[in-house]
Amino acid sequence: MEEKTLESNTVFTGKIITVKVDRVSLTNGWTSLREVVLHPGAVAVLPLFDNGDVVLVKQFRYPVGKVLIEVPAGKLDPGEKPEECALRELREETGIDAGKLEYVGFVYTSPGFSNEKIYLYIAEELSQHEQDLDVDEIVETIRLPLREALRMCIDGEITDAKTVALLSLAFLKRG
């Protein structure tokens, strides 16, 4: 089932992504084109308090034209370890520092056209400080029980895939 790259053309290189159009050979003898978005990877981190509360963020997402409710998340910087990125993004977006960070897996966001991989973490032993947002970030935090956040997923109020995945994993691991 593997496809072999016959030709690869980079059509766009931006600050975050690169877009390629590749011609591939298929195992059935045919050839096809593949449009591929290359992404450096990202992290998502769920701050989980001892009482079962979590902190999510609300922010406007330009590509979908809506305010979404999400777990704190962000892009990996060159050479940055996912754990470091998770702690950095948690502090920037929520003002929370974590004494404990547990890796719970990863997800591919849209493997039909992108290689973006998001590493998922649960943060515990939390202490609250001030947000340290980037100048282009406008983020509002929401603190609520994990069960309420899951209900919001079921009711369609939370539709971000990494958030649904991480909330579900946290519930399965922590109840």
Residue type, 37: V
Closest CA to 88 of 132, 122, 150: 132
Q: Are residues 66 and 34 in the same domain?
A: no
4 contact partners, CB below 8 Å, separation of at least 6: 24, 25
CATH number (domain holding residue 141):
3.90.79.10
Whether residues 157 and 132 fall in one domain: yes
Is residue 67 located within the same domain as residue 105?
A: yes
| Cα gap 136→68, rounded to integer Å | 16
Asked if 56 and 74 sit in the same domain, the reply is: yes
Q: Identify the DSSP state of 23.
A: E
Question: What's phi and psi for 72, nearest 5 deg?
Answer: -60, 140
Asked if residue 105 and residue 59 are part of one domain, the reply reads yes
Q: Which amino acid is at 130?
A: E
Instruction: Please tell me whether residues 136 and 124 are part of one structural domain.
Output: yes
Predicted local confidence at residue 131, as pLDDT: 82
Examine the domain organization and report whether 148 and 165 are in the same domain.
Answer: yes
| pLDDT per residue of the chain (175 residues) written in tens, 0 to 9 | 899 999 999 999 999 999 999 999 999 999 999 999 999 999 999 999 999 999 999 999 999 999 999 999 999 999 999 999 999 999 999 999 999 999 999 999 999 999 999 999 999 999 998 887 778 888 999 999 999 999 999 999 999 999 999 999 999 998 6
Give the helix/strand (H/E) hosting 153. Answer: helix 146-154
Residue numbers of the domain that contains 34 = 4-38
Strands (DSSP E) found in 71-139: 73-75, 96-108, 117-128
For residue 130, the model assigns a pLDDT of: 83
Same structural domain for residues 165 and 101? yes
- Note whether 28 and 47 are same-domain residues: no
Euclidean distance between the first and the last CA atom of the chain, given in angstroms as a whole number: 39
- Do 90 and 32 lie in one domain? The reply is no
Tally of domains within the chain: 2
Q: What is the pLDDT of residue 11?
A: 98
In a shared domain, residues 55 and 69 = yes
The owner of tokens 């034209």 is 65
The structure's pTM equals: 0.94
In a shared domain, residues 151 and 129: yes
Other CB atoms within 10 Å distance of the CB of residue 42: 21
